[in-house]
Amino acid sequence: MEEQQVGSLHFQIDFSQPLYEQILDQARSAIAKGEIALGDKMPSVRELAQELRMNPNTVMRAYQELERDGLTEKRRGQGTYVTSSPEHVASFRTALAARYIDSFMEQMESLGFAWEDIEKYIHQKKDTPLGGNGL
């Protein structure tokens, strides 16, 4: 469980998932939550690689995906910057949330839970950490 602060970004790396995926997820999260401001400069590929003690190619892979997501823009010779478009961030956020929801619903339905069961579950969860049975 590695903890690292790089500029305004915070990373927590372990070996449960591919490294590039963890960078990707945590950078996405930071941008979506506004922990790093629109238009801000991201750490350079080499700097982040050095701080996280991994290969530049691994960081590159995460950064390329961030750009495909529309969350960052790259300027040759200058660096990688968080997009200045709030719309890009917003649309990415809702799109990813929709994916998460769909995937989650599939999982729950594969266990025989219906929409109403899930709603109840989620509603209960606010108070009690776990309980109920459903179906």
Partner DNA sequence: CTAAGTGTATTATATCACTTAATACACCTA
Partner DNA sequence: TAGGTGTATTAAGTGATATAATACACTTAG
Number of residues in contact with its own copies, rule: CB under 8 A? 35
11 φ, ψ (degrees, to nearest 5): -125, 145
> Which residue's entry shows tokens 């960052």?
72
List Cβ neighbours of 65 (8 Å cut-off, separation of 6 or more): 20, 24
Using CB under 7 A, which residues numbered 54 to 73 contact DNA? Answer: 54-58, 60-61, 63-64, 67
| Position among 5, 16, 78, 110 found at the interface with its own copies (CB under 8 A) | 110
Burial (CB count within 10 angstroms: exposed 0-12, middle 13-18, buried 19+), residue 54: middle
Q: How far is the CB of 133 from its own copies (least distance, A)?
A: 6
Instruction: Decide if residue 107 touches its own copies (CB under 8 A).
Output: yes
**Tokens found for residue 23:** 């960078």
Instruction: Decide if residue 35 touches DNA (CB under 7 A).
Output: no
**Tokens found for residue 104:** 């989650």
Q: Do 17 and 3 form a contact (C-beta atoms < 8 A)?
A: no
User: Please, which residue, 6 or 32, has the CB nearer to DNA?
Assistant: 6
The site for its own copies (CB under 8 A) is made up of 25, 28-29, 32-34, 90, 93-94, 96-98, 100-101, 104-105, 107-108, 110-113, 115, 118-119, 121-123, 125-126, 130, 132-135
